Amino acid sequence: MNVNDIKHAGLKKWILDFAALTTPNEIVIADGSSAQYDQLVAEQLAGGYCVALNPEKKPGCVAYNSDPSDVARVENRTYIAAQNKEAAGPTNNWIDPTELKKTMTGLYKGCMKGRTLYVIPFSMGPIGSPIAKIGVELTDSAYVVINMMIMTRVGLKVLDVLGTDGAYVPCYHSVGKPLAEGESDNGVWPCAPLDDKYISHFPETREIWSYGSGYGGNALLGKKCLALRIASVLARDEGWLAEHMLILKISNPAGKSIFVTGAFPSACGKTNLAMLIPTIPGWKVETVGDDIAWMKYGSDGRLYAINPEAGFFGVAPGTSSDSNHNALIAASKNTIYTNCALTEDNDIWWEGIGYDAPGKLIDWNGNEWVQRKGDKTQKPAAHPNARFTAPAKQCPSIATEWEDPKGVPISAILFGGRRPKTIPLVHQSHDWNHGVFLGSIVGSEITAAALDLKVGTVRRDPFAMLPFCGYNMGEYFQHWINVGKAAKDQSKLPKIFYVNWFRKTEDGKWLWPGYGENSRVLKWVFEACEGTAKTIDTPIGIMPTADAIDRPEGVTVEDMKELLAVDIDGWINEVEDIRANHYPKFGDKLPKELATFLDQLEANLKAAK
């Protein structure tokens, strides 16, 4: 299929106009076929951009190494170019949209010379789902095309759904390095200097313009850019929720199941929880999604969620058979690896994979590397943000309902952060608005690894959406309250919980083992949704009784008391920090309900002291 075969006149004109600006050698439409995927991979291998992994150990897998300057999301170059700064809010970078488009149009001019312009029609969510949205990405990166073919539903069926005048989110992307006549990239990952990188979102016109980066979060525009930053604006305007949340299914020994979503900041084990293998006999956890949830009300008045993605863009380091066995299996074939280390027999390796490096490696910078165990000065063989892009359908824990176009009914919503003290293992909100309050104060404690902030302070990441909300976050809090008000039957709203797997003793030892043992907390959440949980009311919310959660091996009765204690003084400090350093950021956009909950929490704590 070529551009002239496209029946959607507006889409065809948009593509041709961008081609006239960027001057590519040719235009290729991503048709979603396995044949085209294989052809693109073969071309990338022949060009030296990637290497094929050992077909016996990792069939159908390839490995890329990026430019060292292009290894992660660039938050300081990510913009919400709303019509005015207030609409973008205090937590986003803002540039006047007219000025930004002028700057970026100049950068796009001739930027695809010597390259191919790929047209990627993609659906976020099952094609034709009432919750799904369609985007079209124009890019000069074959790496982006093959990753998008795993991460989303790409192809001609999407164009069929669009028809002659359907709505889509237009997405521009270029790696940002035009080639001279006859020049080649020579197998080198192309990207622009940091000051020329722009990952830009225009919420009013529902557009995404990205330039200068080939990294996933900056270049796979269906992921964070559409699925969260633009979708959060669509959700606000259309009355639904676009969230940075996993979706899992948990079933008890009797076969009764519920679906749970969960929002966690980075490094809090979200993917591990989504693919958890329970340690409790007879209980089962299945995966619907590991990163994004879009939720809308169904005809029965319940919130239904879809995973708008079709793959996992997982962090490799730290993923092992112990931490996430299901992820390793999902990524064992037909997977794209980025910035991992290569073994001598062309397998991949990373720190935390669960076994020592097998001899001499080639690190992610292309240098020889031999593990020096115990040497903390040795640079890692794999980049700490190394990734795997794997088809979700390959995950052994994938739920049969994961592609149900109507979504799955949500019974519980979890919030959590990395907190070594104060926040208990789990507590439940009294109602929806109280749950919104809990989501609004989520954060993780700063460790010595973050040099820009004082150790021990809390970096707030409300709803785990701080880098991803496409508009003013104070209005985002209000939208959550509005969604709760819109429920026809308040009793059908999901119950909301705040969890914390990361409590430590005074001498720095973990109080809770985490990983599969988190199923014990999920069991209590399940029981709370069923109305059978053992609970006690406390100044911070509803909590398990001391004997309500099955103790894992190695966790003492005293440990459980500590995990489920309400630290009155710690919570009073928490209130003071929220009041002084967090809520003031939102000014008069902060919903009055949340300020009232903070006052009530303080009063409860002081009364209990």
For 42, 123, 245, 409, 466, the CA distances from 238, given in Å and listed in that order, are 42, 18, 19, 19, 21
343 is in an annotated binding site: no
387 is in an annotated binding site: yes
Say how far apart CA 418 and CA 416 lie, in whole Å: 7
| Residue 554 DSSP class | T
- The helix (run of H) or strand (run of E) holding residue 324 is helix 321-330
386 is in an annotated binding site: yes
Say how far apart CA 21 and CA 19 lie, in whole Å: 5
Say how far apart CA 165 and CA 440 lie, in whole Å: 39
| Residue 581 DSSP class | I
Say how far apart CA 227 and CA 236 lie, in whole Å: 13
Kindly name the residue from 50, 268, 340, 529 that is annotated as catalytic.
Answer: 268
Largest CA distance in the chain: 76
Say how far apart CA 435 and CA 422 lie, in whole Å: 18
217 is in an annotated binding site: yes
Retrieve residue 419's tokens: 């907190």
Report the Cα 263 to chain-centroid distance in Å: 9
Residue 24 is which amino acid? P
118 φ/ψ angles, rounded to the nearest 5 degrees: -95, 135
| Residue 290 DSSP class | S
| Residue 504 DSSP class | B
- The helix (run of H) or strand (run of E) holding residue 104 is helix 97-108
Residue 575 and residue 601 in contact, taking contact as beta carbons nearer than 8 Å: yes
Residue 412 and residue 435 in contact, taking contact as beta carbons nearer than 8 Å: no
326 is in an annotated binding site: no
Residue 61 and residue 335 in contact, taking contact as beta carbons nearer than 8 Å: yes
- Strand stretches in 308-457, DSSP E: 311-315, 336-338, 341-342, 348-349, 361-362, 368-369, 387-391, 408-416, 426-428, 443-445
Burial 421-454 (b: 16+ CB within 10 A, else e): bbbbbbbbbeebbbbbbbbbbbbbbbeeeeeeee
Residue 543 burial (CB count, 10 A) = 22
244 is in an annotated binding site: yes
272 is in an annotated binding site: yes
335 is in an annotated binding site: no
515 is in an annotated binding site: yes
111 is in an annotated binding site: no
418 is in an annotated binding site: yes
For 114, 263, 495, the CA distances from 408, given in Å and listed in that order, are 46, 17, 15
Say how far apart CA 452 and CA 369 lie, in whole Å: 30
Task: Please confirm, yes or no, whether 191 is among the known catalytic residues.
Answer: no
548 is in an annotated binding site: no
65 is in an annotated binding site: no
Mapped onto helix, strand or coil, the DSSP state of residue 586 is helix
Residue 542 and residue 548 in contact, taking contact as beta carbons nearer than 8 Å: no
Report the Cα 581 to chain-centroid distance in Å: 26
Residues within the annotated binding site for Mn(2+)? 224, 244, 291
Residues within the annotated binding site for substrate? 73, 215-217, 266, 385-387
Residues within the annotated binding site? 73, 215-217, 224, 244, 266-272, 291, 385-387, 418, 515-518
| Catalytic machinery residues | 268
Residues within the annotated binding site for GTP? 267-272, 387, 418, 515-518
